[in-house]
A and B are shown apart, each in its own frame.
Chain A
């Protein structure tokens, strides 16, 4: 399936208000923040393991997931947040569908990550309230953008999966389904 990732990037940014200034700020603070992200990842997974519904998806893979997760978090402070980033997040959403991760896990996980990042930012930049607030808004924007893209991917992948099941059950070929859909397009 081909997607217009430029368009999706623009769409996600318009909702999350990830402006060029906020992108620049994330990259600026990245140098100071990135070394601390492994700790956040550690804490994040420790928490996930306490949620029974989440821990069943983690069995035996926690260490490798931690590495991937830290790399993604470093990306939040590295940029660029362009179509390549969007495409990557879209694939991440796809992978989550393939392992049958419930849709609410993404929003839940993003909440946990944001909470930990808020703590870290306040701890690091709390002495300058205005600057601290700007960084928090920028973080909220980039995680919001990432979540929106993953949810789009999730939605598309879930629909594709449902369609596949329907075609299998009904015995309809994909071509027949497409012809049926085309016949009912607005004329």
Chain B
């Protein structure tokens, strides 16, 4: 049931912008809780890699005295990966197109992360 609600939040998030190509909610241990991913993506890898990146981002922010981590953004020539905490025990990962309007995506992701945190 909760899984359905998480998928609903992710579907709403994907619906807010055509620039969002995939999204997932992952436990901080790297296990996928809910996702809206294209078939070509491996759920386990997206999950584990996202949690690992966020964990490393956390440590980097601490180590380089950047305060509490808000998000990790990766930019490649085929698009973006944005990772953020959704509460203390989950990670929200979003993949977006290379020409995505980041400002809007940041806002939508922040809202979705808040909703997910409440659900969890």
Contact = CB atoms under 8 A, between A and B. Distances in A.
- Closest 6 interchain pairs by CB? A171-B59, A179-B30, A183-B44, A180-B48, A183-B48, A183-B45
Given A176-B29, A179-B29, 17 more contacts: A170-B55, A171-B56, A171-B59, A171-B62, A173-B29, A176-B28, A176-B51, A176-B52, A177-B52, A179-B47, A179-B51, A180-B30, A180-B49, A180-B52, A182-B44, A183-B30, A187-B42
Interface of B is mostly: helix
A99 interface: no
A172 B52 contact: yes
B44 A176 contact: no
Contacts of A170: 52, 55-56, 59
A184 B48 CA distance: 9
Contacts of B45: 183-184
B39 to A, nearest CB: 14
Contacts of A1: none
Interface in B22-37: 28-31
Contact of A176 (B42, B55, B62): B55
A173 B45 CA distance: 16
Interface in A144-185: 169-173, 175-177, 179-180, 182-184
